[in-house]
Amino acid sequence: MRAARLYRYDPEMNEQLRLEDVPEPTITQPDDVIVRVVAAGLCRTDLHIIEGVWKDILDPQRTLLPYTLGHENTGIVEAVGSGVTAVKPGDRVICHPLRTCGVCLACRHGEDMYCLNGRFPGLDSDGGFAEYLLTSERALVKLSADVDLVEVAPLADAGLTAYRAAKKAARLLPPGTSGVIIGIGGLGHIALQVLRAFSGARLIAVDVSEAARQRARELGADDVLAGGPDLVEQVKELTGGGAHVVLDFVGEKGVEQQAWQMLRKGGTQIIIGYGGRIEIPTVHMIFNEITVAGSLVGNYAELYELMDMAARGLVRVHVQRYPLHEINRAIDDFKHGRYFGRAVIVPS
């Protein structure tokens, strides 16, 4: 089968994925499932993997390369192991990004991302930029015939990450409160839709790009701001003293330091974007009793919930399609910001 594989880490990002013929995956475990990939979302994490940002975490022995990237996958079940009962060949599915063990305590709590024995196809093993993907029964959410497998592919990771953070925020945002979403890109525009559906709060969207701000208005933001050095003052004025919740989808370039300063007493900052460093005087934290929290992808149940919202049209992702053989063009377009939303690789 055809697959797009990474052969070399390259901080300069000149390295291209190589398109080549590799053996199709085979069933070896009772819970194995082979999925014929219909769509695989291209993610900033793929770029970071190529750059080598993840190599010490994912590949400490330098034995991983070459392998196939792609961790936002949808498709049709092709074959199943002897123990699989939840899906059958022909089923339309989206893949939770992690292959979890199901028996560790984290799995039993339903916290898939904390699984002690998890594998992450596309990060630590072959992923979905290929015709077929090997995953497991526990990772699969079945989709109805009216769900577009290409449009929902980015929800497997990008959408799920936005959903988990927005759901946490919604519990803190009843009517009469205000929430700020910083960064209305691939993740932020999904978080805004989820929050709009979940919460009666006043929602303030922040982005440096006018196109993104326009999109935020269309998606129901109550106020839209352009960011910049006086963002904290603007939010405090709009909210009469500060936001109850800030969702930070940027997490670097100084935004991470602005986010906690725009909270009111008792407020919560949820960090999704990363790269920067937060320094808060401890006296500020206790006097204002603020909370600063991280958020990591999402669990299986959250992916199920998000798929229900997508099927009912409550969440829509803006996608740009590329055939598998044009994956390097997709990566180049991503690097240069030539599309809005998410690129999706379509193998056949």
Site residues for Zn ion per CB under 5 A: 43, 45, 100-101, 104, 107, 115, 157
Q: To 10 degrees, what angle do helices 158-170 and 188-198 make?
A: 40
- Burial category of 208 from C-beta neighbours within 10 Å (exposed 0-12, middle 13-18, buried 19 and up): middle
Closest CA to 99 of 48, 32, 165, 157: 32
* Smallest distance, Zn ion to C-beta of residue 101, A: 4
* Smallest distance, Zn ion to C-beta of residue 174, A: 31
The residue among 42 and 259 lying less far from Zn ion, judged by its C-beta, is 42
The residue among 97 and 179 lying less far from Zn ion, judged by its C-beta, is 97
* Smallest distance, Zn ion to C-beta of residue 243, A: 27
The residue among 69 and 93 lying less far from Zn ion, judged by its C-beta, is 69
Strand order in the sheet with 18-21: 18-21, 2-6, 67-68
The residue among 78 and 157 lying less far from Zn ion, judged by its C-beta, is 157
Query: Tokens in use for 104?
Result: 């560790």
The residue among 173 and 190 lying less far from Zn ion, judged by its C-beta, is 190
* Smallest distance, Zn ion to C-beta of residue 122, A: 8
The residue among 53 and 232 lying less far from Zn ion, judged by its C-beta, is 53
- The closest residue (CB) to Zn ion is 43
Question: Alpha carbon of 172 to those of 175, 196, 290, 294: distances in Å?
Answer: 10, 14, 13, 15
The residue among 87 and 104 lying less far from Zn ion, judged by its C-beta, is 104
Question: Alpha carbon of 63 to those of 76, 143, 199: distances in Å?
Answer: 30, 36, 46
Query: Tokens in use for 129?
Result: 């930029």
Instruction: Report angle CA 235, 237, 243 to the nearest 5 degrees.
Output: 45
* Smallest distance, Zn ion to C-beta of residue 114, A: 8
The Cβ-side half-sphere exposure at 326, using a 13 Å CA radius, reads 13
Closest CA to 294 of 333, 248, 344: 248
* Smallest distance, Zn ion to C-beta of residue 72, A: 5
* Smallest distance, Zn ion to C-beta of residue 107, A: 3
